């Protein structure tokens, strides 16, 4: 078969951004392969026929950015709805707004504190462990926001995320716990946010629409029985690799650690179960961390949604094994050292650019992945194509 000018491994946002740039700016013929049966990587979504909900297959995805270059770029392929992200939490039989704000505090203490009074109270409660050097998550949390709020809203949620009792979790999992001393419960602080008007998958299909881009699905880069595999390509054609960096080297230095999420789908005979898209569960008695009601991400589609049925996904967090979907880097000191060793090997690979969250072992939001892909194209891919 005819060799493309560039092979991109992974049809996620990193791979699609590089492919789009290479086709448009260098006129390159780009082959994008993905082992999955769909494009879009973890940002992929599909329409649920029964309810009319757009289900984010790999967990809820909210687009937000303050980066002008990224915002201009993504708007070439999709418009965005006016969705503004807000999260609520169930604790001890009541629903509270998050992140912790004056509304949360006044509801929790059955009070009507002013911002200054609430701030003084939280500081006083945080003073319980003043001057100590917290060694575990509980002590750190108490020191940041005081015991009552920490134990109600942070302790058990974080414990469920890590499947570990917070007294056994290292203090540095949490650097800061933002508390807002006003009623603003808008989740993101970015200049722009919203959801793609006709869905994530339509957005990403448009990124691949250039006729010089060919996407082949169900193709594993490490399967030597198909022509577009590692041994056949590396050193012969420029490659952009967005799969796991440890997998690329056959885990020869060890496995990088990740957390993953299992989803349990529940359907209800109601038009609206929560009245919001995201409900966190702050207490230990509910085994999942949060539940997503996808219909409520897109209220502007009400006329195309089923008024009598809704679908909810409950999220269970756990450590990933090989073969699970790697979602969040665990990122201990040992992991960072191991990644540095893989990174050195990656840098020595001929004509291979490692990118994206799996290729660089980093938690990136979508806007960060797109930004790093635009930079990687300019600095590393374009020079290879010019040769």
> What are the catalytic residues?
176, 180, 259, 290, 315, 363, 365
| 261 contact, one of Na ion, ligand FAD, none, CB 5-8 Å limit per kind | ligand FAD
Query: Binding to ligand FAD (CB under 6 A): which residues in 339-368?
Result: 356-358, 364-367
Task: State the nearest-atom distance from the C-beta of 353 to ligand FAD, in Å.
Answer: 12
Q: Which is nearer to Na ion, 19 or 98 (CB)?
A: 19
* 150 secondary structure, DSSP code: I
Residue 259, number of CB atoms within 10 A of its CB: 18
Q: Is 35 in the site for ligand FAD (CB under 6 A)?
A: yes
Member of 43, 152, 154, 179 binding ligand FAD (CB under 6 A): 43
Q: Is 42 in the site for ligand FAD (CB under 6 A)?
A: yes
Query: Binding to ligand FAD (CB under 6 A): which residues in 165-224?
Result: 220-222
Q: Which is nearer to ligand FAD, 40 or 141 (CB)?
A: 40
d(CA 348, CA 285): 50
d(CA 271, CA 121): 41
Angstrom distances, CA of residue 327 to CA of 50, 258, 376:
28, 6, 22
d(CA 339, CA 245): 8
| Interface with ligand FAD: number of residues (CB under 6 A) | 35
Query: Binding to ligand FAD (CB under 6 A): which residues in 243-272?
Result: 243, 261
Q: Is 381 in the site for Na ion (CB under 5 A)?
A: no
CB 136 within 8 A of CB 171: yes
Q: Which is nearer to ligand FAD, 262 or 379 (CB)?
A: 262
Q: Is 277 in the site for ligand FAD (CB under 6 A)?
A: no
Member of 7, 8, 14, 282 binding ligand FAD (CB under 6 A): 14
Q: Is 87 in the site for ligand FAD (CB under 6 A)?
A: no
| 220 contact, one of ligand FAD, Na ion, none, CB 5-8 Å limit per kind | ligand FAD
Task: State the nearest-atom distance from the C-beta of 359 to ligand FAD, in Å.
Answer: 7
Q: Are strands 352-354 and 239-241 parallel, antiparallel or unpaired?
A: parallel
d(CA 39, CA 45): 10
Tracing tokens 């590089």 back to the chain, one arrives at 18
| Interface with Na ion: number of residues (CB under 5 A) | 1
Q: Which is nearer to ligand FAD, 102 or 292 (CB)?
A: 292
The closest of 354, 37, 42 to 219, measured between CA atoms, is: 37
Q: Is 28 in the site for Na ion (CB under 5 A)?
A: no
Three-state DSSP at 204 gives helix
- Each residue 161-200 as x (binds Na ion by CB under 5 A) or -, in order, gives ----------------------------------------
Q: Which is nearer to ligand FAD, 68 or 120 (CB)?
A: 68
Q: Is 33 in the site for Na ion (CB under 5 A)?
A: no
The closest of 355, 317, 326, 328 to 251, measured between CA atoms, is: 326
Q: Is 213 in the site for Na ion (CB under 5 A)?
A: yes
Q: Which is nearer to Na ion, 213 or 384 (CB)?
A: 213
Q: Which is nearer to Na ion, 213 or 370 (CB)?
A: 213
Q: Is 159 in the site for ligand FAD (CB under 6 A)?
A: no
The closest of 316, 292, 265, 331 to 160, measured between CA atoms, is: 316
Angstrom distances, CA of residue 310 to CA of 45, 49, 82, 313:
17, 11, 22, 10
By CB neighbour count within 10 A (0-12 exposed, 13-18 middle, 19+ buried), where does 92 fall? exposed
CB 374 within 8 A of CB 366: no
d(CA 140, CA 155): 10
Q: Is 81 in the site for ligand FAD (CB under 6 A)?
A: no
Peptide bond into 175 cis (omega under 30): no
Residues that bind ligand FAD (CB under 6 A): 9-15, 33-36, 41-43, 58-63, 220-222, 242-243, 261, 327, 356-358, 364-367, 369
Residues that bind Na ion (CB under 5 A): 213
């Amino acid at each position: 078969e005819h060799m493309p000018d560039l092979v991109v491994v992974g049809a996620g946002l990193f791979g699609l951004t590089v492919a789009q740039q290479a086709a448009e700016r260098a006129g390159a013929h780009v082959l994008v392969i993905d082992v999955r049966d769909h494009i879009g990587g973890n940002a992929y979504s599909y329409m649920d026929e029964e309810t009319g909900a757009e289900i984010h297959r790999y967990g809820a995805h909210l687009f937000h950015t303050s980066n002008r270059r990224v915002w201009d770029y993504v708007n070439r392929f999709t418009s965005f709805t006016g969705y503004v992200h807000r999260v609520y939490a169930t604790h001890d039989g009541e629903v509270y707004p998050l992140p912790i704000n004056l509304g949360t505090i006044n509801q929790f203490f059955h009070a009507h504190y002013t911002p200054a009074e609430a701030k003084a109270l939280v500081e006083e409660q945080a003073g319980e462990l003043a001057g100590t050097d917290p060694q575990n998550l509980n002590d750190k949390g108490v020191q940041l926001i005081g015991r009552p709020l920490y134990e109600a809203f942070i302790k058990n949620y974080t414990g469920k995320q890590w499947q570990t009792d917070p007294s056994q979790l290292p203090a540095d999992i949490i650097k800061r716990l933002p508390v807002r001393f006003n009623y603003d419960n808008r989740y993101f602080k970015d200049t722009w946010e919203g959801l793609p008007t006709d869905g994530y998958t339509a957005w990403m299909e448009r990124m691949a629409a250039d006729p010089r881009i060919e996407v082949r699905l169900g193709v594993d880069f490490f399967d030597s029985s198909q022509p577009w595999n590692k041994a056949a390509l590396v050193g012969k054609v420029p490659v952009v690799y967005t799969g796991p960096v440890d997998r690329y080297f056959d885990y020869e230095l060890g496995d990088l650690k990740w957390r993953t999420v299992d989803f349990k789908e529940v359907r209800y005979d109601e038009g609206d179960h929560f009245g919001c898209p995201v409900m966190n569960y702050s207490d230990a008695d509910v085994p999942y961390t949060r539940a997503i009601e996808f219909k409520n991400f897109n209220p502007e589609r009400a006329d195309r949604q089923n008024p009598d049925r809704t679908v909810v996904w409950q999220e269970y967090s756990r450590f990933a094994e090989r073969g699970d979907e790697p979602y969040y880097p665990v990122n201990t000191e040992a992991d960072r050292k191991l990644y540095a060793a893989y990174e050195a090997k990656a840098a020595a690979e001929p004509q291979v650019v490692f990118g994206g969250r799996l290729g660089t072992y980093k938690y990136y939001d979508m806007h960060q992945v797109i930004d790093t892909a635009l930079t990687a194209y300019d600095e590393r891919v374009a020079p290879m194509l010019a040769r």
